[in-house]
Amino acid sequence: MEFLPYIYLTYMFISIYMLSLFLIIYLRNIKSFFDYPKTKKIYTVSFVVPAYNEGESIEDSIKNIMNIDYQGIVEVIIVNDCSTDNTKEIVESLLDKYSKLKLINNKKNTGSAAGSQNIGLKKAKGELIAVVDADSFPSRDSIKKMVGYFDDLKVGAVTCPILARNKNKFFEKLQAIEYQAISFGRKLLEYVDAIYVTPGPLALYRKKALEEIGGFDEKNLTQDIEATWHLAYNRWKRKMCLATSVTSVVPSRLGEWWVQRRRWNVGGLQCISKYRKSLGKKGMLGLFIIPFFIINLFLGLFGLSIFFYVLIRNIISRLFFTTYTIKAGTPLLTFEEFYITPSFLNYLGIILFLTGLIYVLVILSILKVELWKKENILNIPFYLTIYLILYPFIMVNSIWHFYKGKSVWR
């Protein structure tokens, strides 16, 4: 159809525009990209770790936190949300070993990480609250390199890159590439005050800021996104520290990954619904973050619609052609399906793919990822094609769950 080249051109323009924007931001801040503010002040820090059936990882997580090099840590609060495995017993066995370790056993299951995080927040004594998932492992220098941002009294939260902890299976390796790309993009968004999430694996909050927004939203499936939007709504700054990192266990199977990403998407839709009246106002939340989410949603759904349109059109066209030739008594076998004829659309598709390839290669080079190992370089094309193509399908599934009100955290 005549309109298809224009759609391809539109997608190509948006891709090149975003790539150029990110490149300009990076080049303008290249000297300070990996820097972090040093501070002489020792902030008191309380760790809050929500735990539900985390028996396999909770002991290693606690030992990792206790090994973090920062003298201002005053307590590590584990909030056991009525686990049915041995989470409680494992934590209790470590209480005598670690004086800063505290265990809170919820009397009733809250049904979400946010519920446990709020309970821990109320008990926390620190000026800063470090929220960590029970299957995540912050670097030893993480807090030391993140606290300096809080010398700016307008900073409400600081995050850092999340890296895949398990990278043995093919699907895990694709997520490892994705996490690197996300980290790079999030740092760039910091320079325009548009960080839209301080993720659960490790986020450091100013307690005053969290209390101001009423803690974490227990009705939202992505309480970390909602909290970040709420901080932005209240004009608190969010920062990204590239000088350190946290590793987190990523889904190994497609089904687990699908459920996780659907939860993320439904949570994002809940945020758009909650803050829709801020569109076009309220600083960068309404001028960039919400439009950014809406545009991505539209492009994904529209692209999927075009894909199915072309597919169905070709099937119907072929069906009519075959039926006509049979009824006419002149069955005709064509071989055009067996070879590729270069066309304008082919070239546009190649340009879009190469644009994405260059972007990922540049990101991994800047982040000093060992690119040329066989498992890295060969996985990038799969990431750009098979992996990313799944996202529009997840979005459709997420919209259906959001529409039906299927908002269950676990």
354 and 322 within one domain: yes
Quick check: 376 and 370 in contact, CB under 8 A? Answer: yes
CA angle at residue 58 from 252 to 259, to 5 degrees?
A: 35
In a domain? residue 275 = no
Residue 269 within any structural domain of the chain: no
Query: Which alpha helices (DSSP H) does 136-240 contain, by range?
Result: 142-146, 170-190, 207-212, 223-233
pTM across the whole model: 0.89
325 is a domain residue: yes
Residue 374 in any domain: the answer is: yes
Is the torsion defined by CA of 269, 52, 247, 158 positive or negative?
positive
Q: Are residues 45 and 156 in the same domain?
A: yes
Count CA atoms closer than 13 A to 127's CA, side-chain side. 10
Say whether both 159 and 236 belong to one domain: yes
Q: Could you give the CA distance from residue 270 to residue 275 in angstroms, rounded to a whole number?
A: 9
What average pLDDT does the chain have? 89
Residue 257 belongs to some domain of the structure: no
The CA-CA-CA angle for residues 78, 198, 52, to 5°, reads: 30
Number of domains in the chain: 2
Same domain (yes/no): 297, 195: no
pLDDT (mean) for 223-247 = 97
CB 174 within 8 A of CB 382: yes
Q: How is 14-27 classified by DSSP, letter by letter?
A: HHHHHHHHHHHHHH
Q: Say which CATH number the domain at 39 has.
A: 3.90.550.10
Same domain, 11 and 61: no
pLDDT score for 408: 59
Q: Which of 252, 274, 305 is the last residue of a domain?
A: 252
Q: Is 126 in the same domain as 204? A: yes
Higher per-residue confidence, 233 vs 323: 233
pLDDT tens per residue, range 277-289: 999 887 899 999 9
327 shares its domain with 191: no
pLDDT at residue 338 greater than cutoff 50: no
Residue 207 confidence (pLDDT): 98
Do both 67 and 210 map to the same domain?
A: yes
Share of the chain above pLDDT 90, in %: 67
Same-domain pairing of 122 and 156: yes
Same domain, 182 and 303: no
Does residue 18 lie within any of the structural domains?
A: yes
Three-state secondary-structure class, residue 339: coil
Say if residue 248 is in the same domain as residue 331.
no
Backbone φ, ψ for residue 17 (5° rounding): -60, -50
Strands 155-159 and 237-240 turn out to be parallel
Q: pLDDT band for 352, please (50, 70, 90 cuts).
A: confident
Examine the fold and report which residue of 196, 229, 252 is the final residue of a domain before the chain moves on. 252
Question: Does residue 237 surpass a pLDDT of 70?
Answer: yes
Is residue 380 situated within a structural domain?
yes
Residue 29 lies in a domain: no
Q: What angle do CA 257, 261, 265 make, to 5 degrees?
A: 170
| Confidence band, pLDDT 50/70/90 cuts, at residue 2 | low
**Range of the structural domain that residue 11 is part of:** 4-23+288-404
Residue 311 — very low, low, confident or very high, per pLDDT cuts 50/70/90? confident
Q: What is the pLDDT of residue 406?
A: 65
Amino acid (1-letter code) at residue 368:
K
Domain's final residue, options 252, 274, 306: 252
Q: Quick one: 19 and 94 in the same domain?
A: no
pLDDT tens per residue, range 288-306 = 999 999 988 888 888 778 7
Please count the CA atoms within 13 angstroms of the CA of 129 that sit on its side-chain side. Answer: 28
In the prediction, which pLDDT does 94 show? 97
Please report how the helices 170-190 and 374-382 are oriented relative to each other, as an axis angle in degrees rounded to 10: 80
User: From the CB of residue 154, how many other CB atoms can be counted at a distance below 10 Å?
Assistant: 10
